[in-house]
Structure 1
Amino acid sequence: MKDLSMIRADTAGLADGRIFLDSAGSSLPPAIVVDTMIAHLRREAEIGGYQAANERLDDLDAVKTSIATLIGATPDTIALSDSASRSWADFAYSVPLRPGDRILISGADYASNAIGALQRAKATGAVVERIPSDDTGRLDTDALAAMLDERVRLVSLQHAPTNGGLVNPIAEATRIAHRVGALVLLDACQSTGQLPIDVTALGVDAMSSTGRKWLRGPRGTGFLYVRRELAQTMEPARLDLHSAEWVGPQEYRLAPDASRFEFWECGVAARLGLGAAVDYLLDQGPDEVYAAVADRAAYLRKTLPEIPGVTVRDLGTEHSGIVSFTVDGHDPEQLRDRLAEHAITVTVSHASSTLLDMTDRTLPAVLRASPHYFVDHHDLDRFHTTLTTLTH
């Protein structure tokens, strides 16, 4: 990884001593991402969007290559989209379902995924069921095994939830689900860019992710990985002239790979920015970045409980870079806003985002600090001191 001072100098959002602890929401892009996007927008203004895009066709193809390199895939298994939620829905809505079929979701599943599963069930006569969690809060793989039968068509797994540092046992859960032929769709929105991901080792059939969080890319970007055999045979629920070709009055031909899950129209500047963000991460050395994120989060989990009234709410035995906590007698939103007055950015995760888990724990909301590798221990100490002052 580059010298931390150089990385911080690349990050405009850290100017004037600001402390940014919300990479789980929308992280700070490095300068190359911003410059890449602005340069393309200016080029569009000069020669028009079509010609500007045509000049960058190789670079657009390279975005998929970079993503594939990061997650252990191949470019033909990557479809670009505008968000993780869009990617998740594009796959989930394309899984054929009949009355009585079962969709399994985890207790940590994100609201958008759960709503999509419920809508699909309503439209098809399928049912949505929850996979229990074990005593640590992780997905209970023994309980999953006991639930399985031939009616389970889709298993939705959350790699790292939005409301805390839990990391679920994805590879094991996927092996179990595949015993009955179920398809496994992994939401890696909160893990891509901060945790090691190898889709081949995990064995998942599909994976959705976003650009704006730990990848430090722009908003309005995301991607879908689809296992090659599915990418070549599965028919998406929606098509256009990019995902398929109109070859006769009553006939169309699907694109031969995961691009069948893409639409033609897109924000070209944003996609080039996403590619720049992934390349920036690859240049840093992903393993070093992952280690740095883990270090920052572990430091917070160690030091935050030193403040009277603070309770760290993270579940599980393996942890991500998200640190969730509450402070006795303090409303999370008000405390978030007071920290912002001191140039410290955290966010609040509400029960509506992870309804099953938060209801189980009777938590209406938690504060969420998610330090990326550009945050140092000095920043975290200042955060600790400010939080102590504001709460006592």
Structure 2
Amino acid sequence: MATSRLAEFQEQFARRADLTHLNNAGLAPITLAAKNKVEYWAERYYQEGFWTDADYMTDVLSARHAMADLIGCQHDEIAWFQSAAGGINQFAFGIGLQPDDEVVMWDQEYSSMLYPWKEACDQNKAFLKIVDSEENLKTPTEKYLAAFTSKTRVAAFSLVQFSSGARMDTQAVISECKKRGILVFIDIAQTLGLHPCTVWAMGADAVAGGSHKWMVSPVGVGYLAIRKELAQKMKPRNIGAYTYGTCDDPSDFACEPKRDATKFEPGSKQVLEITALGASARIIKAVGVETIEAEALRLGAKLRDGVYNKGHQLLNPFGREAISPMVNFLPGNGMSLPDMAKRLSDHKVNFALRGGGIRLSTHAFNTDKDIEKALSLL
């Protein structure tokens, strides 16, 4: 049964012998379902214009429900943004940081996570406390928890770190935060669509991510899922007609903002991108995240073992253990990092330079031949 579901997922992707996609933690190909959705709405806009109005709103709502199913939240706890950074900004600037509040974060967070929190802290005279990673980009849970003080207001971290796949004992972190009254904000961009995402059930206050990595849909959508009680208290960063109602409502100087997460969406949506994301989310749900994860990890383990056996230095915090499809390494055998990067690029094997090394990342649509091609170049 799992084999047939995996085949269903793999059939969603184009196959070109000249391109090998091993930067799926950065920018993955999109599903056929997402491609079809973009083409569908482009054609309808071309043919029908305004007469698409009610239908596209229904499809955007369907996408909101599909994402809520994967995250585990209610559909009206999700707000759309242009990117993950938009959702992170809304939360970081919207929670009302006070002077001397602390936000605790690892030193290896992606810039779209780091910069909004740094700026929010700077503007509010709060303190961004950076915790140093350990050897091979390890992020020990106990070290992160030790950084908490009586002034800590927010624990902001990625469920899976983008450079290496590093992760903490998230349940332990959330439990400690609940005891101390610390807000929990989690970047799930490197989790959703690849690993089961259970942090909402654990009690995370908000999560954010984007569309173009493991969600295998077009660039251009970010999302913020935020608890209703927090959304009700938080002021929107961007204001427009949809903050209060719809574009067809009469202007009213006494109007009150919506009380759910949609108040953070000031105006018209990226319909093509959002509905494409919804299409990919439904494919992922139907196939099963566990099925996708198992194949991505199998291929990642094969790649990791091959890299190690060829004499290269693994930078992954978990060594050769198969808990992530990310493989980060430094070239050995006298080859420089720039030379290795050029060789991969010349042979159309994509990758990313992350965490001081070369990061390769396998998805469930990849094949054993993809791994063998990459290893033949190392």
- Considering the TM-score relative to the shorter chain, is it more than 0.5? yes
Paired residue secondary structure (1:242):
helix
Corresponding position: 1:346 with 2:346: no
Read off the aligned partner of 1:225 and give its amino acid letter: A
Corresponding position: 1:280 with 2:283: yes
CA distance in 2, matches of 1:296, 1:180: 40
1:185-222 deviations in whole A, cap 9, x for unaligned? Answer: 10111111111102333321000011100010110012
CA distance in 1, matches of 2:365, 2:141: 35
CA distance in 2, matches of 1:176, 1:270: 37
> Residue in 2 aligned with 1:327?
331
Read off the aligned partner of 1:230 and give its amino acid letter: L
- TM-score, reference length from structure 2: 0.90
1:32 Cα deviation from its structure 2 partner: 1.5
CA distance in 2, matches of 1:313, 1:138: 9
Paired residue secondary structure (1:160):
coil
CA distance in 1, matches of 2:155, 2:8: 42
Tell me if structure 1 keeps the 8 A contact 2:299–2:362: yes
5+ long unaligned stretches in structure 2: none
Tell me if structure 2 keeps the 8 A contact 1:108–1:158: no
1:65-98 deviations in whole A, cap 9, x for unaligned? Answer: 1111112222111112221121111111111012
> Residue in 1 aligned with 2:80?
80
> Residue in 1 aligned with 2:16?
15
Paired residue secondary structure (1:230):
helix
Q: Which moved more, 1:58-67 or 1:132-141?
A: 132-141
Q: Which moved more, 1:155-164 or 1:247-256?
A: 247-256
Paired residue secondary structure (2:256):
strand
1:289-342 deviations in whole A, cap 9, x for unaligned? Answer: 11111111122222211113x111111477322111110344434433322332
> Residue in 2 aligned with 1:354?
none
CA distance in 2, matches of 1:314, 1:82: 31
- Percent identity between matched residues is 22
CA distance in 1, matches of 2:239, 2:112: 22
Tell me if structure 1 keeps the 8 A contact 2:139–2:168: yes
Structure 1 residues 166 and 234: CA distance shift in structure 2, 3 A: same
- TM-score, reference length from structure 1: 0.87
CA distance in 1, matches of 2:132, 2:279: 39
> Residue in 1 aligned with 2:292?
289
> Residue in 2 aligned with 1:375?
366
> Residue in 1 aligned with 2:228?
228
Tell me if structure 1 keeps the 8 A contact 2:9–2:287: no
> Residue in 1 aligned with 2:31?
30
CA distance in 1, matches of 2:201, 2:173: 12
> Residue in 2 aligned with 1:128?
128
Q: Which moved more, 1:315-324 or 1:120-129?
A: 315-324
Structure 1 residues 331 and 38: CA distance shift in structure 2, 3 A: farther
1:150 Cα deviation from its structure 2 partner: 3.8
> Residue in 1 aligned with 2:341?
336
Tell me if structure 2 keeps the 8 A contact 1:81–1:222: yes
1:19 Cα deviation from its structure 2 partner: 2.1
Structure 1 residues 146 and 162: CA distance shift in structure 2, 3 A: closer
CA distance in 2, matches of 1:31, 1:203: 34
CA distance in 1, matches of 2:280, 2:151: 41
Read off the aligned partner of 1:344 and give its amino acid letter: V
Structure 1 residues 342 and 149: CA distance shift in structure 2, 3 A: closer
Structure 1 residues 114 and 21: CA distance shift in structure 2, 3 A: same
Structure 1 residues 114 and 266: CA distance shift in structure 2, 3 A: same
Tell me if structure 2 keeps the 8 A contact 1:138–1:168: no
> Residue in 1 aligned with 2:165?
165
1:24-64 deviations in whole A, cap 9, x for unaligned? Answer: 1110112121111022112112222x442422222211111
Structure 1 residues 289 and 45: CA distance shift in structure 2, 3 A: same
CA distance in 2, matches of 1:121, 1:37: 39
> Residue in 1 aligned with 2:267?
264
1:1-392 to structure 2, matched below 5 A, reads 1=2, 2=4, 7-12=9-14, 14-16=15-17, 18-48=19-49, 50-133=50-133, 137-245=137-245, 250-308=253-311, 310-316=312-318, 319-328=323-332, 329-349=334-354, 358=355, 365-387=356-378
1:266 Cα deviation from its structure 2 partner: 2.3
